[in-house]
Amino acid sequence: MPAPQFKFLARSTPRRCSGRLNPIRLNSPIFLSVFFVLWAAALWLIPDTLSVMGDYIAFSLLGITGAIFANATGAGGGVVFIPMFNQLGFTEVQAIATSFGIQCFGMTAGAFTWIHHYRHDKIELHLWHSFVPIIALTGAFAVLGVWLVYGLNLPSPASLHESFSIFSIVLGLAILVSVFFLRPGREHSNLEWYDCAALGLIGIFGGIITAWLSVGVGELLAIYLILRRFDVTMAVASAVVVSALVVWSAALEHFWLNPKAYWQVLLFAGPGAVIGGIFAKTLVSWLSARKLKIFFATWVLVVGVVTSPLASLV
C-alpha cells in the first residue's frame, strides 16, 4: 500500500511573492520612507538635537552590528551590547534595560523578515513545517521564565556568567566538531515527544537566563535544533522569532514598572538595529548550511569568551 502524500510535500516549486511589495525590506521605498520620517521626527523632538546627535549617533553603528549578528545567529544581541555598556560605565540595570530596548527594535525587524521568508520565499517547506510549533512552545515557556524572574525577584547566581560562558564554549566547539568530523546525516523536520519536552525546558530556563543577561534563549534554542539536525536556517529563524517574543514580554518591566533604559542611546541604537535586523537574513542567505553552522559556532564561542570572567580583566 503506497504511503500517503501530504500537501506540504507536494509543492515542488517555490511559492513566489504575488507581486505585492514587502514593506519590511531594505529596498522597499514604503518602509524606508516611513522609517526615516519617524526617526527624524523623534530626533527633532528632543532638546538640543544637534548636540545629542554628535554625542550618540555612533550608537547607531553599534545597533546595526549587534542586530546583524543577533538575527543571523538567533543568539541575541546582548553579548555585543552588555560588554560595551559595561565599558561605558552603565549600571547593570541600565545595561540590561537598554539592551532589551535595542533588541525590541532589532529582533522584531528580524522576526518579521524571517516570517516573510517562511511564508513566501522558502522552497523546502517540508523542512520548515515545525517552525510555528517550535516558536509557540518555546516562546510560551520562555515568557514564563522571564516573568518568574521578575515576579519572584529571583537574583542572578554569582556563577551564572562563568557557567554560561563554559556552556557556550563547549557547545560552540561541539558544533564545529560535528561540521568537520561527523558525516552529515538526514535533516529532521518532525518534532518528537522528547523534542517538545526539551523545547519547554529550553524555553523556561532560557527565559530565566535572558532576564538576567538579555541573551540566552535564542542561543539555546538554535544550538538544540542544529544538534538535532533540523534545517539550520529554520533553527536560526525560530531562535530570532522566539527572542523577539521574549524581549517584548520584558518591555513592561523595563519601560514601565522599572524604567532604567538609557533613552539617548536607545534613540540611536534602536533604529540602527532595525537596519541590521533586516540585513541579517540576506547575510544568512549567502551562506550554505555548512558555512552557517561554522558562522553560528564561531559566534557562540565569542559569546562564551565575552561573558567569561577573564573578559572583565581585559
pLDDT tens-place string over residues 196-242: 999 999 999 999 999 998 888 998 999 899 888 898 889 999 999 99
Q: Encode pLDDT of 153-167 as tens digits.
A: 998 886 666 777 777
Does 141 reside within a domain?
yes
Which residue has better confidence, 143 or 15? 143
What integer pLDDT is reported at residue 185 of this predicted model? 62
Does 108 reside within a domain?
yes
- How far is Cα 111 from Cα 276, in angstroms, rounded to an integer? 12
Q: Inform me whether the pLDDT recorded for 14 exceeds 50.
A: no
Q: Which range, 11-25, 51-65, 188-202, 268-282, has the best average confidence (pLDDT)?
A: 188-202
C-alpha cell at 179: 561540521
What integer pLDDT is reported at residue 18 of this predicted model? 40
Which residue has better confidence, 196 or 36? 196
Q: Encode pLDDT of 174-192 as tens digits.
A: 888 877 876 666 677 889 9
Residue with cell 519590511: 24
Give the three-class secondary structure for 181: coil
Mean pLDDT of all residues in 90-117: 91
Does 100 reside within a domain?
yes
Distance from CA of residue 185 to its chain's centroid?
26
Q: Which residues contact 308 (CB under 8 A, 6 or more apart)?
A: 161, 162, 165, 166, 169
Query: What average pLDDT does the chain have?
Result: 80
Q: Which of 15-19, 125-129, 159-163 has the lowest mean pLDDT?
A: 15-19
Does 110 reside within a domain?
yes
Q: Encode pLDDT of 241-263 as tens digits.
A: 999 999 999 999 998 998 989 88
Q: Which residues pair with 188 in a beta bridge?
A: 230
Which residue has better confidence, 96 or 178? 96
What integer pLDDT is reported at residue 161 of this predicted model? 64
Q: Inform me whether the pLDDT recorded for 132 exceeds 60.
A: yes
Distance from CA of residue 169 to its chain's centroid?
18
User: How many independent structural domains does the chain possess?
Assistant: 1
Mean pLDDT of all residues in 5-32: 46
Give the three-class secondary structure for 26: coil
Instruction: Identify the domain containing residue 171 by its residue range.
Output: 57-313
What integer pLDDT is reported at residue 254 of this predicted model? 92
| Residue 230 φ/ψ, nearest 5 degrees | -75, 165
Residue whose C-alpha is closest to residue 216's, from 105, 142, 109: 142
What integer pLDDT is reported at residue 36 of this predicted model? 61
Mean pLDDT of all residues in 7-34: 48
What integer pLDDT is reported at residue 101 of this predicted model? 93
Q: Which of 1-5, 57-61, 141-145, 300-304 has the lowest mean pLDDT?
A: 1-5
- How far is Cα 238 from Cα 244, in angstroms, rounded to an integer? 10
- How far is Cα 138 from Cα 242, in angstroms, rounded to an integer? 7
Does 49 reside within a domain?
no
What integer pLDDT is reported at residue 42 of this predicted model? 63
Q: Inform me whether the pLDDT recorded for 149 exceeds 90.
A: yes
Does 196 reside within a domain?
yes
Q: Inform me whether the pLDDT recorded for 25 exceeds 60.
A: no
What integer pLDDT is reported at residue 186 of this predicted model? 67
Kindly report the length of the chain. 314
Q: How confident is the model at residue 17 (pLDDT cuts 50, 70, 90)?
A: very low
CB distance 230 to 130 below 8 Å = yes
Element (H, E) at 67: helix 59-73
Does 61 reside within a domain?
yes
What integer pLDDT is reported at residue 7 of this predicted model? 41
Does 20 reside within a domain?
no
- How far is Cα 174 from Cα 178, in angstroms, rounded to an integer? 6
Q: Inform me whether the pLDDT recorded for 20 exceeds 60.
A: no
